Amino acid sequence: MKRLLIAGICAAGALFAAMAAAQIAEHPSQLSYRPLAFTPPKAKDYRTVLSNGMVVYLVEDYTLPTVDIQAIISTGSLYDPRDKIGLARMAGEVMRTGGTHKMSGDELDERLAFLGASIRTSIGNTSGNASMSALSRDTDEVLGLFADVLMHPIFAEEKIKLYKDEAIEALKSKNDQPRAVLEREFRKLLYGAHPLVWAETKATIEAITRQDLLDFHRTYFAPNNIILAVAGDFQRQEMLAKLEKAFADWQPRTVTLPRVPEVAVKNRPGVFMIQKQINQGYVNVGHFGIKDTNPDIFAINVMNFILGGGSFTSRITSKVRSDEGLAYNTGSRFANEHLFPGTFYGYVQTKSQTVYYAISLILKEFERIRREPVKEEEMVTAKNYFLDSFPDRFSTAIGTMSTFSSLEYNGFPLDYYDTYCDKIRAVTPQDVMRVAKKYIRPEQMTIMIVGDIEACKKGDEKHPGTLDQLGPITEIKLPDPLTGK
């Protein structure tokens, strides 16, 4: 019996080995696997509203003994007065560093450090953000501190002065980084005098007073103007009770956002150069793009992945970097805005002598994707990227709640992600060509270059052609960041 058992085991082992050998692929590209099905959670299942009008997306998560809260506030530097540019950004930082009537900013730092917790605040172009993270055993205390910062910042004068000193000092190095200069000036060239590209100066920073900060907070910070994302080690009803208690004294009120002018979508074709004594050229080639509400966005994303957004698999990267060896950093982007049209551009960082040649290759790829059907394998790679990375949006509890709060903040339907994958799968090669023809306009390209102008103009013998062939060249003088002039 024992011998038969051993023989049986050996036979089974041999059969298993033979089957495994038959299934081993000769190359990774030959591997096959069953597709994974992922159904995103429903935003409506996690949404609730506190008695003061604050919207909350909340989920229990017992992975770690922690609690995370993230807030989105409907405000932004977009609404700064023209003579006090930087007001929102200053308010976003000093409301945390300046402390409250109950606890100074320094005392708050010490207490949070002792607890191993954090509270952060900031304000960007089109939204304000605040967050807290704490061990679940310290939830009551840290939530109380978090609510106090949101509701009752005092904007201490010494912290205002410290912020101003640091902000003005930072202005002095604003023109030092070529890539940052390129992105900033490219946007300025397109958006013109729109508040989206207004820049702080020494004068506008110094003009901001403590009363301005208090008025700013009073104008925009109300419970019904905030969306919370909450996740962690708690019982749902207990956490809702804690939130109600923490914000009990905060009454809802009407918040009216200032009217902001529409962006005048007028492309600026031509070659624009900014002198910087470096041995490389930093280049953007593009024009206005789309809003993220555009119904073509799914086809555009697939198209741009193939064109230059798909890292090493994309056409621009393959041609400019891999085939020609001209650049380490190259590709294309649709940098979408929500309230206003964003930008589309190809980009490259290459040595001065090959700037023209690299630009010419990017322009050729723009033309090619507009007139030639993309290959099936390109479509498969692009779609798989979006489909396979889609679950990442929901990979953490707080990330999922934050995703839902962002949906609501930006006015998207709460079931937006229910059909996301189907809309990606539905994109066809014909769709890719259609949106490429519609949204990429080679004759309207703004070509902006930051580098040594004469060296970039000269080119080299190996790659014939000069920048003059792309159109008349306009030199842009960088303003003094301290004065804006």
The pLDDT tens digits for 291-349 are: 999 999 999 999 999 999 988 889 999 999 999 999 999 999 999 889 999 999 999 99
- In which residue are the tokens 């056409």 written? 315
pLDDT score for 23: 64
Contacts of 303 (CB under 8 A, 6+ apart): 369, 374, 431, 432, 435, 436
Q: How many CA atoms lie within 13 A of 119 on its CB side?
A: 29
Provide the H-helix boundaries in 328-470. Answer: 355-371, 376-389, 397-409, 420-425, 429-439, 453-458
- In which residue are the tokens 């041999």 written? 14
Say how many residues make up the chain: 485
Q: SS3 for 70?
A: strand
Comparing C-alpha atoms, which of 401, 93, 374, 78 is closest to residue 231? Answer: 401
Q: What percent of the chain has pLDDT over 90?
A: 88
By the 8 A CB rule, do 134 and 113 touch?
Answer: no
Cα gap 232→67, rounded to integer Å: 4
Q: How far is CA 60 from CA 67, 97, 229, 232, in A?
A: 9, 30, 11, 5
The predicted-structure confidence for 334-381, as pLDDT tens digits, reads as follows: 998 899 999 999 999 999 999 999 999 999 999 999 999 999 999 999
Q: SS3 for 344?
A: strand
First to last CA, the chain: 96
Cα gap 79→326, rounded to integer Å: 42
Per-residue pLDDT at 18 exceeds 50? no
Cα gap 207→203, rounded to integer Å: 6
Average pLDDT over residues 421-441: 98
Residue 372: left if φ>0, alpha if ψ -120 to 50, beta else—which one?
beta
Whole-structure pTM value = 0.90
Per-residue pLDDT at 9 exceeds 80? no
Comparing C-alpha atoms, which of 308, 273, 306, 314 is closest to residue 446? Answer: 273
By the 8 A CB rule, do 88 and 75 touch?
Answer: yes
Average pLDDT over residues 424-440: 98
Q: How many CA atoms lie within 13 A of 134 on its CB side?
A: 24
Token pair for 343: 């930008």
Comparing C-alpha atoms, which of 283, 463, 265, 301 is closest to residue 382? Answer: 301
Per-residue pLDDT at 16 exceeds 50? no
The predicted-structure confidence for 203-235, as pLDDT tens digits, reads as follows: 999 999 999 999 999 999 999 999 999 999 999
